[in-house]
Amino acid sequence: MAEIKVDVRGQTCPVPLVEMRKALRKAEQGDVIEMIGTHPASKKEIPMAANALSVKIISDEQIGNEWKIRLQK
Amino acid sequence: MSEKTTIIVHSGDLDKIYSALIVANGSLAMGMEASLYFTFWGLLRLKKGGLDQGPLSKMHMLGLGKLMIKNRMKKANVASLDKLIADFRELGGKIIACEMTMEIMGLKRADLNEGIIDDYGAVGTYIQEARDSSITLFI
């Protein structure tokens, strides 16, 4: 199981969501995707998308103006 | 109803092309399918090198407004239309060109950016795409 890092700091709508989906499509079952970003709306929309895609959210945290969301395919 | 978004891209205005591509990419990112049907002024954006050549729908001011908005978009780090189209296609989105518009505007397939067009069709093609779509928009 690989761990894939996706850095979307400084990126705005719709890039964080799109990069999440691209990473998920490339990932193998069981792979972990760690996303780091700053776009505020994506902090709540990435978990929304993960739920819609039935992808597990391992953790979801905010540190200063950065958020880190870990997903498992 | 399937989880699909179908958009008629009628306007060729820069801001509206952004709206269409952002909604379409958001749909794909959230697990839906998406199709874009380019017609009329929208179709001109599929001409070779034409994607970002549209005016602003408001405050274009002979191109000055567009320059200002493009500048502000750059500062806000908004993705380019080229990236949005590439992502749209990578995530399985479909682009359809309206053949009647091609006839009206005197455009041949060779005039268009054929590499990004999945299908050429008329209203029937659009209806086939839209009849099962839970989201349909006219932009």
* Residues B41-97 pLDDT 10s: 999 999 999 999 999 999 999 999 999 999 999 999 999 999 999 999 999 999 999
- Per-residue confidence (pLDDT) for residue B131, from 0 to 100: 95
Q: Is the predicted pLDDT of residue B1 greater than 60, yes or no?
A: no
Strand partners, A71: A33, A57
- The DSSP result for B5-54, as a single string, is EEEEE----HHHHHHHHHHHHHHHHTT-EEEEEE-HHHHGGGBTT-TT-P
* Helix, strand or coil, per DSSP, at residue B123: helix
Residues of A with CB under 8 A from a CB of B: 10-15, 17-18, 20-22, 25, 48-49, 52-53
* Helix, strand or coil, per DSSP, at residue A59: strand
Strand partners, A7: A36
Take residue A34 and report the two structure tokens written for it. Answer: 């760690």
* Helix, strand or coil, per DSSP, at residue B110: helix
For B89-122, the pLDDT digits (tens) are 999 999 999 999 999 999 999 999 999 999 999 9
Task: State yes or no: ipTM above 0.90.
Answer: yes
Helix (H) or strand (E) holding A33: strand A32-37
Which candidate, B124, B114, B118, places its Cα nearest to that of B92?
B118
All domains of chain A in start order, with CATH: 3-72 (3.30.110.40)
A10–B78 C-beta distance less than 8 A? no
For the entire predicted model, the pTM comes to: 0.94
- Per-residue confidence (pLDDT) for residue A1, from 0 to 100: 81
- Per-residue confidence (pLDDT) for residue B48, from 0 to 100: 97
Which residue in chain B is spatially nearest to A46 when comparing CA positions? Answer: B30
All domains of chain B in start order, with CATH: 2-138 (3.40.1260.10)
